[in-house]
């Protein structure tokens, strides 16, 4: 039998139900993996051993009473440390937040708690989710479990690494410009960026409000569909959530792609993308063709503008969202005694924020400031429309798009960290889906010659997560 | 290229204390990123509207009714490191 901490959600739930192992044993297998590996990997900022132990005991008691439990009951989860978790310290990867303990759960966390989750701990991230490598965390760099000299990706690097290393059974992240899909692809797991507004963001610290989404990481497409079903839906505390019905996502896992039209956007296969990455993605496309899908070459000519659009509008929204971090209602007060209130703000923020946050807040403040608004912000919002129109056009012809997630496999720690523009380019292939609010599923599709995971993404029209899952489930079923 | 004064001005607007060393470093990095943004000048956007919301929601209306808050005022006040004064947080003087 596979180790308990490496099972899928469904296998774990069945094992618990059939009393093959207890929830406590399951949790222990994750804690053992953490003890063995997390000194190096640093996927978790905080491991809540006591809280998790109590939750596991409750599940074991209920099982002993013969209670029929939810499929997610007792399943160990790692949650990105940007979700509020009641009674469990939440840092956003920033030293500014100090010892902040949220008094309430994010809606996504609350939904999982109601289903009996076992919260193993809070996972590492780039400060306030700003980064593509989890190197910009105040709590150290997360290392890739496949190669400790390389990054796990980011910003949800801790969630991806924790899952890949067996330190949880599934995990949660957020994706603003690729922060779920890119680490999923670097760490060889599945990660879904749902449609904008599909899952509530209430209680998740906002980065860029018109871009941010919450989504799951899992070991298989079935796990992703279970989690999406559990998390999706309208929430009164996040009025950007949609009241569209949540379908039964299991219905899409029939592993048949006959007649599907699959687009390959040529801009995602250009010279800037590693040959090896392109080869692996194309090999998966071949399998789809063999399965009866029709492959269509398409073009998304505005792809080249996506990074620029993102790095104008995202910092603008970020700078406004992070105004609330002033060390007054929560977070650390300045170490030196400030002269007055304004000095308090300067010192608390100057001391508390890391370099990347300072850069992005200043960039956002600059593009919104008098005289620059039209030249940068307004223009970027118009080009965003252009990117959306590109997608609308191709989705008139195809059902889904397939593309690489990242131009390269995981890069080396320190390789890009002092060159912000180069680091920003790491998001070039993931940003467009966020710009248009589209769902995109990152799926593992093989390994590089250096044994690093490579990932592809399946992008669908808004609220058509089912199509991503359908393609993902087919590819999973024909894996070599 | 941004000037040091511009970097300092933006930092002031954003209420962030910067050290001299940071001003110099961020000046180069921000200038490089801003320079890259010129790529947008090539885009044909004459006829286009701006996108502010991607799923087409507007004016989300709700019944005017109370629903329980996720936590109490007291719980929220406990999050502050600053001294409390009844139901308020005591801060430094605002006007001299």
Contact A420 B29 (CB under 8 A): yes
The alpha carbon of residue A30 is apart from the nearest alpha carbon of chain B, in Å, by 31
Nearest CA to A439 out of A399, A381, A410, A384 is that of: A399
Burial of B5 (0-12, 13-18, 19+ CB in 10 A): exposed
The alpha carbon torsion through B34, B39, B43, B45 (nearest 10 deg) reads 10
- Give residue-wise pLDDT tens across range A222-256: 999 999 999 999 999 999 999 999 999 999 999 99
DSSP A178: S
Q: Which of A67-76, A390-399, B51-60 has the lowest mean pLDDT?
A: B51-60
Q: Which of A89, A363, A434 would you mutate first to test chain B, the one with the most B CBs within 10 A? A: A363
pTM above 0.95, yes or no: yes
Please check whether residue A385 lies inside any domain of the structure: no
* Nearest chain B Cα distance for residue A66, angstroms: 32
Smallest CA–CA distance from B82 into chain A, residue = A328
CA–CA gap between residue A420 and residue A145 (Å, rounded) = 24
Distance in angstroms between the alpha carbons of the first and the last residue of chain A? 21
Which residue in this structure is represented by tokens 């608004």?
A373
A290 lies in a domain?
no
Helices within A406-455 (DSSP H only)? 420-425, 431-435
Q: At what angle do helices B20-36 and B4-13 cross, to 10 degrees?
A: 100
Given A100, A104, A326, which is nearest B70 (Cβ)? Answer: A104
Nearest chain A alpha carbon to B61? A239
| pLDDT bucket at B58, cuts 50 / 70 / 90 | confident
Residue of B nearest to A356 (CA): B26
Which one of B28, B79, B90 makes the best mutation probe of the A interface by having the most chain A beta carbons within 10 Å?
B79
Whether A79 shows a pLDDT value over 80: the answer reads yes
CATH number of A175's domain: 3.90.1300.10
A113 touches chain B (CB under 8 A): no
Instruction: Look up A179 and say whether it is catalytic.
Output: yes
Residues of B in contact with A380 (CB under 8 A): 37, 40
Whether A381 contacts chain B with CB within 8 A: yes
Q: How many domains is chain B built from?
A: 1
Q: Token pair 């590819």 is at which residue?
A: A475
Q: What residues have CB less than 8 Å from A479, skipping those under 6 apart?
A: none
Does residue B55 lie within any of the structural domains? no
User: What is the reported pLDDT for B68?
Assistant: 87
Give domain status of residue A124, yes or no. yes
* Residue B10 placed within a domain: yes
**What's the complex ipTM?**
0.96
A374 secondary structure, DSSP code: I
Catalytic residue among A22, A137, A155, A156: A155
**Number of DSSP helices (H) and strands (E) in chain B, helices first:** 3, 2
Q: Give the mutation candidate from A203, A383, A436 for the B interface (greatest B CB count, under 10 A).
A: A383
Mark whether A29 is an active-site residue: no
pLDDT digits (tens, 9 = 90+) for B27-42: 999 999 999 999 999 9
User: How many whole angstroms separate alpha carbon A289 and alpha carbon A402?
Assistant: 12
In a domain, A357, yes or no: no
Radius of gyration of chain A (CA): 21
Q: How many angstroms separate the CA of residue B10 from the nearest CA in chain A?
A: 6
Q: Is residue B77 part of a domain?
A: no
Q: Are A364 and A320 in contact (CB under 8 A)?
A: yes
- pLDDT tens by residue, A96-155: 998 999 999 999 999 999 999 999 999 999 999 999 999 999 999 999 999 999 999 999
Q: How far apart are CA B37 and CA A366, in angstroms?
A: 13
A322/A208 Cα distance (integer angstroms):
10
Q: Which alpha helices (H) appear in A322-430, and where do they start and end?
A: 341-352, 355-368, 379-394, 420-425
**In chain B, what residues touch A101 (CB-CB under 8 Å)?**
79
pLDDT digits (tens, 9 = 90+) for A254-295: 999 999 999 999 999 999 999 999 999 999 999 999 999 999
How close, in Å, is residue A436 to chain B by CA atoms? 6
CB neighbours of residue B19 within 10 Å: 9
A155 belongs to the catalytic site: yes
Residue pair A27/A1 in contact (Cβ under 8 Å)? The answer is no
Please give, rounded to a whole number of angstroms, the shortest distance from the CA of B75 to a CA of chain A: 6
Is A148 an interface residue toward B (CB < 8 Å)? no
Check: CB of residue A195 under 8 Å from CB of residue A463.
Answer: yes
**Mean pLDDT over all residues of chain A?**
97
The answer to whether position A141 is within a domain reads: yes
Range of the domain at B14: 1-41
Domain of residue A128: give its range: 4-249
What residues in A contact B37, CB-CB < 8 Å? 308, 311-312, 376, 380
- Encoding tokens for residue A168? 């949880």
Nearest to A421 among B26, B33, B89 (CB): B33
Q: Among partner residues A195, A330, A333, which is closest to B79 by beta-carbon distance?
A: A330
**What's the confidence (pLDDT) of residue B95?**
82
CB nearest B15 (choices: A239, A345, A424): A345
The count of C-alpha atoms lying within 13 angstroms of the C-alpha of A312, restricted to the half-sphere facing its C-beta, is: 27
Would you say residue A284 lies in a domain?
no
Distance from the B27 Cα atom to the nearest Cα atom in chain A, whole angstroms: 9
Name A401's bridge partners. Answer: A263, A459
Per-window interface: A 419-458 vs B, CB < 8 A:
420-421, 424, 435-437
CB half-sphere exposure, B5, CA atoms < 13 A: 0
Residue B76: its H or E element: helix B73-77
Instruction: Return d(Cα B17, Cα B8) in angstroms, integer.
Output: 9
Handedness of CA A72, A74, A79, A85 (dihedral sign): positive
Helix (H) or strand (E) holding A11: helix A9-17
Per the residue annotation, which of A55, A156, A179, A225 is the catalytic one?
Answer: A179
Q: Do A365 and B71 touch (CB under 8 A)?
A: no
Compute the average pLDDT of residues A420-446.
95
Q: Specify the DSSP class assigned to residue A199.
A: B
Mark B31-42 as b/e (b = at least 16 C-beta within 10 Å).
Answer: eebbeebeebee
Q: Which residue of A has its CA nearest to B8?
A: A362
* pLDDT at B96 exceeding the cut of 80: no
Q: Where are the alpha helices (DSSP H) in A241-370?
A: 275-290, 306-321, 341-352, 355-368
How far is residue A44's CA from residue A42's CA, in Å, rounded to a whole number?
5
CATH code where residue B28 lies: 1.10.20.60
Q: What is the pLDDT of residue A1?
A: 55
- Give the pLDDT confidence of A328-377 residue by residue, as tens digits: 999 999 999 999 999 999 999 999 999 999 999 999 999 999 899 999 99
Residues of A within 8 A of B34 (CB-CB) are 363, 366
* Domain total of chain A: 1
Instruction: Flag whether A452 is in a domain.
Output: no
Residue A399 lies in a domain: no
């Amino acid at each position: 039998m596979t180790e308990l901490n490496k099972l899928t959600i469904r296998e774990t739930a069945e094992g618990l139900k059939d009393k093959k192992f207890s929830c406590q044993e399951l949790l222990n297998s994750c804690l053992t993996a953490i003890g063995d590996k997390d000194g190096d990997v640093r996927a978790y900022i905080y491991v809540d051993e006591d809280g998790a132990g109590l939750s596991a005991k409750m599940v074991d008691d209920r099982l002993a009473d013969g209670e029929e439990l939810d499929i997610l009951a007792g399943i160990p989860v790692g949650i990105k440390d940007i979700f509020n978790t009641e009674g469990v310290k939440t840092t956003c990867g920033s030293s500014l937040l100090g010892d902040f303990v949220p008094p309430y759960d994010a809606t996504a966390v609350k939904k999982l708690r109601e289903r009996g989750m076992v919260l193993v701990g809070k996972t590492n991230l780039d400060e306030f989710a700003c980064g593509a490598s989890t190197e910009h965390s105040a709590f150290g760099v997360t290392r890739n479990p496949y190669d400790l000299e390389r990054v796990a990706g980011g910003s949800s690097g801790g969630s991806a690494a924790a899952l890949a290393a067996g330190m949880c059974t599934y995990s949660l992240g957020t994706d603003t410009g690729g922060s779920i899909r890119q680490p999923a692809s670097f760490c060889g797991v599945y990660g879904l960026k749902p449609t904008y507004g599909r899952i509530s963001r209430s209680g998740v610290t906002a980065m860029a409000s018109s871009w941010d989404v919450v989504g799951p990481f899992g070991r298989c497409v079935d796990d992703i569909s279970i989690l999406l079903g559990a998390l999706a839906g309208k929430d009164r505390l996040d009025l950007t959530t949609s009241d569209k019905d949540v379908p039964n996502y299991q219905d899409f896992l029939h592993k048949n792609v006959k007649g599907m039209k699959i687009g390959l956007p040529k801009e995602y296969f250009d010279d800037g993308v590693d040959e090896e990455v392109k080869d692996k993605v194309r090999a998966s496309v071949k399998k789809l063709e063999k399965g009866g899908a029709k492959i269509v070459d398409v073009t998304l000519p505005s792809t080249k503008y996506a990074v620029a659009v993102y790095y104008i509008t995202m910092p603008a929204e970020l700078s406004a969202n992070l105004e609330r971090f002033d060390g007054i209602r929560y977070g650390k007060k300045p170490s030196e005694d400030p002269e007055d209130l304004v000095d308090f703000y300067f010192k608390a923020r100057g001391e508390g924020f890391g370099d990347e946050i300072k850069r992005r807040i200043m960039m956002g403040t600059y593009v919104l400031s008098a005289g620059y608004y039209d030249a940068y912000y307004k223009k970027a919002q118009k080009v965003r429309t252009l990117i959306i129109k590109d997608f609308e056009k191709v989705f008139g012809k195809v059902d889904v798009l397939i593309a690489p997630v990242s131009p390269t496999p995981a890069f080396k720690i320190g390789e890009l960290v002092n060159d912000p523009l180069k680091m920003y380019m790491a998001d070039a292939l993931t940003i467009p889906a966020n710009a248009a609010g589209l769902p995109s599923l990152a799926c593992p599709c093989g390994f590089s010659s250096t044994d690093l995971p490579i990932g592809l993404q399946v992008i669908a029209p808004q609220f058509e997560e089912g199509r991503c899952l359908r393609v993902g489930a087919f590819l999973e079923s024909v894996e070599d | 290229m941004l000037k040091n004064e511009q970097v300092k001005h933006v930092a002031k607007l954003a209420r962030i204390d910067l050290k001299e060393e940071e001003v110099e470093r961020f000046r180069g990095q921000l200038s490089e990123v801003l320079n890259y943004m010129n790529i947008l000048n090539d885009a044909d956007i004459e006829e286009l509207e701006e996108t502010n919301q991607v799923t087409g929601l507007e004016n989300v209306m709700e019944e005017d009714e109370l629903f329980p808050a996720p936590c109490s005022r007291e719980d929220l006040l406990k999050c502050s490191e600053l001294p409390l004064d009844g139901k308020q947080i005591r801060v430094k003087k605002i006007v001299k």
